[in-house]
Structure 1
């Protein structure tokens, strides 16, 4: 288990990859973001994107899943206080393979709760060509070790 004390500012970690399918793009968008360029191939072809693209929220969700499956599943995480600087740089299309990396930007002990610390990290998602598709800065809460552990 990784605790607050194990995390170092400047740490950069890569977190797997995932290929996005047309079916999941349409399924997610149909339920949560039913804009035509996410759900209708013909309309998407006529859009400025020239074809079907994933919702940015879907892209963020896919990246979050990769984080949970890698680092967050092994971290003494206590949730998060929010996300800053969320950006979508380029569309994610069917067949794209996403990968992500995190960089620890800052950490500090909690002033209100000595059992946890705050960790600011930049999450960046890339497509198979190494192009940025998404990024955000998250403020995570991580448990501190008990005295004597």
Structure 2
């Protein structure tokens, strides 16, 4: 098994859509495409891909910011490993790479969000040394008040 982890170039960002759709089942594909193209154009965002024999099997966006309470931090976002490759310690390998990568960029912490019902991810993050420090609140401002 030949695993490679690397940054996905902004010009290739749409290659993450099939994996992203596994996580974002409510968001129409054309909206996902618009959003990730915009994200890829930002200077405080990058997308990381995990490849097995050249096939994209895992993704994580990384948002960078400086916060008064922790300093420079990275936020993994839309973390997905294809179901067919789970329970093979690939998530641990992926996050070890991410840790090294963001430390090299000067980050002092990693903080992230996970959906309330995603118990599998909660267990994973606890095992990786993450702690819960608060709640993530969301208010939809669109007229339809829908989350997508």
Higher helix share: 2
TM-score (norm 1): 0.24
TM-score (norm 2): 0.24
Select the structure of larger CA radius of gyration: 1
Higher strand share: 1
Q: Which has the higher contact order (CA 8 A, sep 6+)?
A: 1
